Amino acid sequence: MDTERLYRENAYTAQFTAKVVRQEKTREGFEVVLDKTAFYPTGGGQPCDTGWLDGIPVIDVEEREGTVVHLLKAPLESDAVTGRIDWERRFDHMQQHAGQHVLSACFDKIAGAGTVGFHLGSQFVYIDLDSIDLTREQITQAEQLANKTVFESLPIKTYTVQPAELNSLPLRKQPTVEEDIRIVEIDGFDYSPCGGTHPSHTGCIGLIKIRRWEKQKDCTRIEFVCGGRALEDYGIKNESLNRVCAMLSVRDFEAADAVERILSENKALAKAAEAMREELCKFEAEKLVRNAPLEKGLRLIKLSYHNRPLEELRLLVSGITSEKGCIALLATTGDKNQVMAGRSEDLSIDLRKPFNEVMSQIGGRGGGSAKLVQGGLGDAESAARALDMLYSAVLNEL
Ligand SMILES: [Zn+2]
């Protein structure tokens, strides 16, 4: 038996009474069929209503061959029940769904782009248009026309027609059912076959705002929000932008330029800081070489640092070994535990031999060339030990 759909006659019916036709326990809960219902079942891109039957939560509603099946958390006690739908959720769906009709009609009128997909989720609402050539200007025009339609608050009418009458209507898309075709007409502006719920006038949709769009393989996806969702979205953006403006001491229309300026200044500063770091490491290396005692006729420099960037260790080794007759043995401990060793071009010692000996004894990993080696250790203590052992091993080789 087909369930009588109260939402088709009047989408504003939020409360109703009905007779229970069937009740059945399933794995998910209790399935209930009524003689009539205001609960909209999932379909046509619109999610189902939720609400209560005699105070028991209705958590899902679906249609099975003309019958509306309500899924309840607990069984009903009575054969005559009072139903109440979650009106806040339903009205949100009505705003988004009717907004989709208006927006789809506008893209059709402005760019000849047809709607091939519609998604109404709890977070995102989007339509897919069968065009990949849309311009920014066309998208702006469609949004403007959509909101003009809202501001004019056109009546939204629904009626049923038979297939023979279809030719007399300028339908935007073809129906998917073959008889009793329900038409949703936005007063002479748009005619669509649709079984969803819509408000009485386009004014009830509220603002229609396109949030973003992206070109996909064979369509353009337009993400948008209507009414209450648009207000919420505006609120979030306004608060976020106000915070940015307060931090930068600029007006909202200057924020993007200000951020761009800061990013480019930041890039220049990072470059300048890098150049200074190189310069400083060079001076530091020169000082280390000057103060290093001579051992077996050369300068052996051994130093350990805490949390010094590897890049600086590399710069120090390179600075030290740019002088003749120097060997640098450096370590850093902390977040990273590393040892690094290098020697001047004029020396002949192959650092890999002492380095590999030490690393295999302590259990570190690494490698390098005859004149530059680097390795990582498990903790600070092993790094310190590795440095000491490397010093002795290098001395042995000289
Ligand atoms: Zn629809």
Domain residue extents for the chain: 4-85, 91-245, 281-397
Q: Judge whether 329 and 322 are in contact, CB under 8 Å.
A: no
Q: Tens digits of per-residue pLDDT, 182-223?
A: 999 999 999 999 999 999 999 999 999 999 999 999 999 999
What CATH number does the domain located at 91-245 have? Answer: 3.30.980.10
For ligand 1, the distance from its centroid to the CA atom of residue 15, given in whole angstroms, is 23
DSSP class of 43: B
Residue 1 predicted with pLDDT over 80: no
Q: Tell me the CA–centroid distance for residue 101 and ligand 1, in Å.
A: 6
Q: What percent of the chain has pLDDT over 90?
A: 91
Tens digits of per-residue pLDDT, 231-260?
Answer: 999 999 999 999 999 999 999 999 999 999
Dihedral, CA atoms, 274, 278, 280, 281, nearest 10 degrees? 130
Question: What does pLDDT average to over the chain?
Answer: 95
| CA separation for the pair 167, 183 (Å, rounded) | 13
Q: What is the whole-number distance in angstroms between the Cα of residue 99 and the centre of ligand 1?
A: 9
Percent of the chain whose pLDDT exceeds 70: 100
Handedness of CA 55, 57, 62, 64 (dihedral sign): negative
Structure tokens at 356: 């590999």
Instruction: Give residue-wise pLDDT tens across range 47-61.
Output: 999 999 999 999 999
Q: Angle at the Cα of 375 (from 369 to 379), degrees rounded to 5?
A: 170
How far is the centre of ligand 1, averaged over its atoms, from the C-alpha of 103 (Å)? 11
| Residue whose tokens read 């099946």 | 69
Helix axes 227-248 and 255-291, enclosed angle (nearest 10):
40
Beta bridge partners of 294: 299
Q: How far is the CA of 306 from the centre of ligand 1 (A)?
A: 65
Distance 125 CA to ligand 1 centre (A): 13
Whole-number Å distance, alpha carbon 167 to ligand 1 midpoint, is 20
CA 257 – CA 250 distance, rounded (Å): 10
Strands 190-193 and 181-186 come out as: antiparallel
CA-based nearest residue to 138, from 250, 47, 215, 227:
215
CA of 124 relative to ligand 1 center, distance in Å: 17
Predicted local distance difference test score (pLDDT) of residue 296: 84
Q: Is the pLDDT of residue 175 over 90?
A: no
Q: Please write the tens of the pLDDT for every residue from 331-385.
A: 999 999 999 999 999 999 999 999 999 999 999 999 999 999 999 999 999 999 9
Q: What CA–CA distance (Å, rounded) separates 94 from 187?
A: 17
Among residues 63, 7, 60, 77, the alpha carbon closest in space to that of 38 is found at 7
CATH topology of domain 281-397: Diaminopimelate Epimerase; Chain A, domain 1 (3.10.310)
Q: What is the pLDDT at residue 248? A: 95
Q: What is the pLDDT of residues 131-150, one digit of tens each?
A: 999 999 999 999 999 999 99
Q: Measured in angstroms, how far is the CA atom of residue 129 from the centroid of ligand 1?
A: 15
pLDDT band with cut points at 50, 70 and 90 for residue 297: confident
pLDDT for residue 18 is more than 90: yes
The CATH-assigned architecture of domain 4-85 is Beta Barrel (2.40)
